Structures are given as C-alpha cells and as structure tokens.
Amino acid sequence: MRILAIWVVLLCQWLSPLFAQDANSSPNSATVVCTFDDGQQVSVQYNNSATPAEEPRNGKPWRPAGLPMILFTQTALTINKVEIAPGAYSLWLIPDKKNWTFVVNKNVKADSPYDPVQDLVREPMEIGQLPAPAKQADLGFGHMASKECNLRVYYGRVGAWAEIDEK
C-alpha cells in the first residue's frame, strides 16, 4: 500500500505541469505549423499583438510585441543553403523599405537581446503589398511542395515570405 501511495504522488507530480497554465502565456500567443509530406513538422510560436512602442524600424531586428518568436523543428532544415539541425531557435525579422530579412538565431533565452554573433542564417524575404493593413503581426506557413514550406509574415501593408526546406 505504501509503494502504491508513493507511485500516486510521483505520478501527480509528473502530470501536474501538463495541466498547469503557463505563467508566461498570453492571450495573444499563437503557433503556426507546417507538416512536410513525410509527417515531420516545423512550427513557430510567437505573440501576435503589437503596440506602437513595438513597431518595426527599418534595418533593426524586430519581434512582434517585443516577445520571442521560437522556431521548433523535428527534422533538419535547409534555409538559404545552410543546414539547421532539429531543435529550437529564436527568429528575428529585419524589416526595410524594399526588403525584409528572416534571421534564425541559436539563442532562445526569452529575455536576451538580439546578438548577431549567434545567427545561424539570414534569409532575404520576398515582399509584397497587402490590400488592407494588418493591425497586428500575423505569421503563417504555406506548404509549397513535399519538402518545402514558406514562412509568411503579415504586418501593416507588408506581406513577406521566406523558403524553408526539409533536408
């Protein structure tokens, strides 16, 4: 009986984090996912609210709402001819008037400022004009081919996208 009680306590301790609400969660947090044809996934977790204090500035690294964007991948990726191993990475966007850049950075600490020394890859993004302005940042994926997903970012009147390939 005593061993059963110990198992119950250990099981409760193990399961409780699964049901607890994350203290850092936000009603504006979102996750977008792309599934490659072999079932492997790449996803981005981000916060889709933005206030004037967090507006993107030309040529400066930016994250929507000033909060981390985290890329999770179950499989090796190729971005701009650079291989990215499975794991978690921070994402940054560098907007400019004529083009945007998508940055994969190995530092995933939430409170860390941008450190270009930790960049793994920078990918130029194609951009276009949206017919109506997006009031908050919105990310999505387009599944373009069996091993290709496009990360899409919409903010203001800009739509930007970058290719992510499964290795």
Does the structure show a pLDDT above 60 at 121? yes
Strand order across the 148-166 sheet? 29-35, 41-47, 69-73, 87-94, 100-105, 119-145, 148-166, 77-79, 82-84
Q: What is the mean pLDDT of the chain?
A: 82
Residue 8: which region, alpha, beta or left (left: phi > 0; alpha: psi -120 to 50)? alpha
Is there a contact between 141 and 152 (Cβ–Cβ < 8 Å)? yes
Residue 42 pLDDT level (bands cut at 50, 70, 90): very high
Does the structure show a pLDDT above 80 at 109? yes
Q: Tell me the C-alpha distance between 154 and 47, whole Å.
A: 13
| DSSP H or E segment with residue 13 | helix 2-19
Residue 64 DSSP label: G
Does the structure show a pLDDT above 60 at 15? no
Percent of the residues in the chain that have a pLDDT greater than 70, as a whole number? 80
Residue 22 DSSP label: P
* Per-residue confidence (pLDDT) for residue 17, from 0 to 100: 36
Q: What is the DSSP string of 32-48?
A: EEEE-TTS-EEEEEEE-
Does the structure show a pLDDT above 60 at 98? yes
Q: Which two tokens stand for residue 9?
A: 């306590």
Percent of the residues in the chain that have a pLDDT greater than 90, as a whole number? 58
Q: Which two tokens stand for residue 57?
A: 């500035």
5 exposed, middle or buried (CB, 10 Å; 0-12, 13-18, 19+)?
exposed
Does the structure show a pLDDT above 70 at 20? no
Does the structure show a pLDDT above 70 at 28? yes
Q: What is the DSSP string of 109-126?
A: -TTPPP-GGGEEEEEEEE
